Chains A and B, each alone.
Chain A
Amino acid sequence: MGEVMYPVTEPGEGAAGKTGNWRWQKPIIIIDKCVKCGLCWVYCPEPAIYLDKMGYPHVNYEWCKGCGICAHECPSKAIEMVSEYE
């Protein structure tokens, strides 16, 4: 007998596969300019931004789709969108 497939699914990351592959532009966080307001974390629809112990944001490029909301909402312009094709 083969493996039985149940119609119950386990939740987990990557329901749509590696969504980082969808990205055509990449957010780069410039830590020197960051004021630790947390808005990039708040407005990330993924969520692909996590905060380290000091409160600085980092991007999880495995899932980040590169929509650019974080760069647009950043009040100190500490996030730059860089093309993936350069």
Chain B
Amino acid sequence: MYRPKIVENLGEDEWIYAGHPACHGCGAALGLRHLLKTIGKKSILVVPAGCTSIIAGTMNAATFNIPFIHTAFGAAAAVASGVAEALSKKGMDDINVVVWAGDGGTYDIGLASLSGAAERGHNILFVLDDNEAYMNTGIQRSGGTPRGAWTTTTITGKKEEKKDIMKIVLSHHVPYAATASVAYPLDFNRKVKKALGIKGFKFIHLMAPCPPGWRFETHMTIEIARRAVLSGAWILMEYENGRLRLNPPSSNMLDKRRISLEEYLMMQGRFKHVKRELLEELKRDVELRWSEIKEILEKQGKQ
């Protein structure tokens, strides 16, 4: 019996069944598969309205082999808080309560209940699966849509910036918050494991490209997620008790060792219309984010 090392590390158990209704090359389905591999059977998954409500299966069919709760769009974190408290009253502390919410269920509609759960510090893991628009209902803009991106409600490209959800979550002084990408499953796996070992409200922001919504060929999902990280548009990092740490490959990219932003943006149909002026602006946005991170790291070094 031979198994590649990466397969051994991720584990061969599958808690998501094949033949689910996700689109071809779905980034969220891949993220879910790796999340469930890591959290295992002793877990309860709480999911608000979104693509995952469909992936979970329609009447008389179910995709996930673990307990699963469908909730109203804004209520995922609130329902999970209740479940976590009930479990702790019953002394069943070994069960993981995990929220898997899309960007609508986190950035916009679910923000109030997310904030409440984070402030009260319930023992839950909140995973934000970010495909940067309301993909399930037909690609409408959300607070998570980046500047310049086409959606069906921003035909000429979104004018506003992507909401910085990490700063919002960190302002609740949560013990653990991290970003991850579907192109780096081992990194995601490690972060989920680490989060489950910490008591309190944990937050993981996972980037999951969406072929129909981002307008690219289905085989490019991983390539685009990878280029997002390599171009610096998406930064892999983790905050442990408020202390920032960059993770590879982002940790080597502080001094601009990145591929150009065009190599990431121009592969996607949603950025096709972007002209040079806007491109320069988007590049400045990325630089600004990196300079902020540099500042935080320098401040930490002095302490």
Contacts and interface: CB of A to CB of B under 8 A. Distances in A.
B44 interface: no
Contact of B218 (A17, A62, A69): A69
Chain B contact residues: helix, strand, loop or mixed: loop
Interface residues of B, number: 43
B4 A19 contact: no
Given A15-B61, A15-B63, A41 B25 contact: no
Interface string A34-74: 00111101111111100101110000101101111101110
A72 B19 contact: no
Contacts of A62: 18-19
B121 to A, nearest CB: 32
A32 B62 CA distance: 37
A41 B10 CA distance: 11
Contacts of A11: 17, 57, 62-65
A84 interface: no
A39 B185 CA distance: 11
Contacts of B211: 67
Contact of B30 (A13, A14, A43, A72): A43
B19 A38 contact: no
A77 interface: no
Q: Taking each of B16, B25, B223, which has the highest tally of chain A beta carbons within 10 Å of its own beta carbon?
A: B25
Contact of A15 (B6, B12, B62, B185): B62
B58 interface: yes
A39 B6 contact: yes
B219 interface: yes
Interface string B163-187: 0000000000000000000000100
Contacts of B218: 67-69
B60 interface: yes
B25 A69 contact: yes
Interface in B220-241: 220-223
Contacts of A53: 1-2
Contact of A67 (B12, B25, B185): B25
A10 B18 contact: no
A69 B14 contact: no
A13 B18 CA distance: 5
A9 B62 contact: yes
B29 interface: yes
B135 to A, nearest CB: 14
B222 A47 contact: no
3 cross-chain pairs, A with B, having the tightest CB-CB distances, nearest first: A68-B219, A38-B4, A15-B57
Interface of B: 1-7, 10, 12, 14, 16-22, 24-27, 29-30, 33, 56-65, 185, 211, 217-223
Interface of A: 9-19, 22, 36-39, 41-48, 51, 53-55, 60, 62-63, 65-69, 71-73, 81
